[in-house]
Structure 1
Amino acid sequence: MVTRLTGALTRAFLVMVLVVTPSVLLPGVGADTKQMVALIALFGGALTFAEYNAAYPSLVEFRDAQPFNRIRFLMLFVIVFTLSVIAAAKGEPTATNRLFEAVGMLVGHAMDFPYSPVRLATMMMAEGASPTQMLAVRTAAGTAYILSLLALAFFVLVLKLKGWPARNQAFNVWVNLPTFEPTAGGDVVERLERDARVNLSLGFLLPFLIPAVVSLASIGFEPLTLTSPQTLIWTMAAWAFLPASLLMRGVAMARIATMIRAKREANATPSGGADLATA
């Protein structure tokens, strides 16, 4: 109980740090904005604490399957922190944030080729956007996207090196996949593999689909400007984090399906969901 409480408090604190990072690093943030960010941080921390302190799961997947959520959180934090440092270079330039900005501009320029996700991300901007705004979006999109790809590669490397999920420990599917209903019908392994393919497909297509959806949604409305640094940071972070998170989820579900199939073959158990709880 003490271990669970300590872990929940630590995770809640880290979530709050993540939310307030742009406000802390960006210069010239108003008092009203800071108060709003603090309220959102408290809300996010409370939700995280309630989820990880509870004995039974509700929404967070892979709660007891380290390091899945740790890598996802680290990816989002690194993206938000890096974009915040780059954005801070325009208000209070220092040697450090200017270096981040220069590297980000190089990455954005290298990834800005026809039909690339970065090129499509810049197309979300309004037609009257200034070259400076377009450069900021390209830099943020390229930096966020390359960081998400690096995090995804790191996750796959961890799976290979550590053999995730651990073979010598029980993997409780109900705890780690609370939204997955094993008795909904059909073979569990086939459903896991199908969900894995869906997540992998969505993760690959989302960087291309999101700009198209935004462009279509802006017809008849004011186009996206992203003039606020915090809006730019969180928009680009979500644009890069969500597809990478779906790809990680797809890979993880495919691994679980493979593990259950192997366990069935080893134990010669019939097809069904009875062996899920300790797979």
Structure 2
Amino acid sequence: MGNIEAYRHKERDQVGHRARHRIATGQFEGIETVIERFVGAVFRAFLVAVLVALPSVFLPGTLSDSLALLMILTSAAAILTFLEYNSEFPSMVEFRYAPPFNRLRFGAVFLLVMVLTIIARGKIHPTELSQGLTAIGRLLGNTIDFPYSPVRLIVLMMPVNAPKELISDVRSAAGLAYFVSLVMMFIFILYVRFLGWPARNGAFNVWINLPVFDPTRGDVLSRLYRDARVNIALGFLLPFLIPAIVKLASTLVDPISLAHSQTLIWTMTAWALVPASMIMRGIAIGRVADMIEEKRRRAYAEAEEQGLQAT
């Protein structure tokens, strides 16, 4: 009996040790996850701050009042980004746990703003890099500037008395911006079609990755498909509609303001990449709807099969 009690006591000690080890390991993994999320949030906030400040810092002629406003905008963007990515669950950013959706969008914006900033700075302080990028921009602008293209509509948006140099700059910036948007969408389509996005890295949680989507309002599938179609349609039409609307409202909006380098950079970035991001969102939501529909179909098939077996 003494041996049996000793064995049981030893076994309880081992079980308790394993339980304590699991708790300690879980706590360590939890702390590690929190630290990793904090570092990632700080890094993303830094990148967003750099993006917002990039044109103002590298382009001359920024006034002191503009610098104060820039500091406010940069700080606000960085704080919002940090708060969003430091939280465990998303509150605003969609597809946060489905890379590279947001990385592609941010990378395209950062690349385009940086390239346009280098080109604008090259007019005052020319370098081989700025001259090369200017040549690429002119090539892309002239290539995409065909009748009824978005770039042609941007050029036609300019006033008749606009300087030829300004029209050339606008054409080059529009060509670069539209090309970057096309490349961004093409890469994302490759991920969806051939790399199994968004479920290629394991299970995909719809409600975490779509934090602003309310699943209680009507049928989920029909709403997702409708949102997908609306986003794709608007994303396709906006590059054509925006220049036409600006041209019609030329009495209120003066396109000649694009002569200011920072205005040109941010206007062309928004004109090209916001619609492209909407198309990407539409494709992503449509893909999520397809996954939900496929899961429903499998569940119905299994239920029918079990019903037949029961009878």
Q: TM-score of the superposition, structure 1-length normalised?
A: 0.91
Q: Which residue of 2 aligns with 1:16?
A: 49
Select the structure that is richer in helix: 2
Equivalent runs, 1:21-100 vs 2, <5 Å? 21-100=54-133
| Structure 1: gaps of 5 or more residues | 271-279
Secondary structure in structure 1 of the residue aligned to 2:152 = helix
d(CA) in 2 for partners of 1:212 and 1:135? Answer: 19
Could you tell me how far 1:269 is from its partner in structure 2? 7.9
Query: For residues 222 and 209 of structure 1, do their structure 2 counterparts lie closer, same or farther at Cα, with a shift above 3 Å needed?
Result: closer
Aligned-pair RMSD on alpha carbons? 1.7
Could you tell me how far 1:126 is from its partner in structure 2? 2.6
d(CA) in 2 for partners of 1:230 and 1:168? Answer: 39
Matching residue's letter, 2:254? P
Could you tell me how far 1:244 is from its partner in structure 2? 0.5
Q: State which of 236, 242, 251 in structure 2 corresponds to 1:210.
A: 242
Judge conservation of contact 1:27–1:92 (CA < 8 Å) in 2: no
Equivalent runs, 1:198-277 vs 2, <5 Å? 198-219=230-251, 221=252, 223-225=254-256, 226-268=258-300
d(CA) in 2 for partners of 1:181 and 1:166? Answer: 21
Deviations 1:118-139 (A, max 9, x none): 0111222233211111111111
d(CA) in 2 for partners of 1:92 and 1:135? Answer: 19
Q: Which residue of 2 aligns with 1:110?
A: 143
Deviations 1:215-266 (A, max 9, x none): 22223x3522111100000000000011110010011011101111111122
**Rg: which structure is higher?**
2
d(CA) in 2 for partners of 1:23 and 1:164? Answer: 37
d(CA) in 1 for partners of 2:148 and 2:38? Answer: 47
Aligned residues: 268
Greater RCO (CA < 8 Å, at least 6 residues apart): 1
d(CA) in 1 for partners of 2:89 and 2:191? Answer: 27
Stretch moving more, 128-137 or 166-175 = 166-175
Could you tell me how far 1:169 is from its partner in structure 2? 2.5
Q: Which residue of 1 aligns with 2:178?
A: 145
Percent identity of equivalent pairs: 51
Query: For residues 30 and 165 of structure 1, do their structure 2 counterparts lie closer, same or farther at Cα, with a shift above 3 Å needed?
Result: same
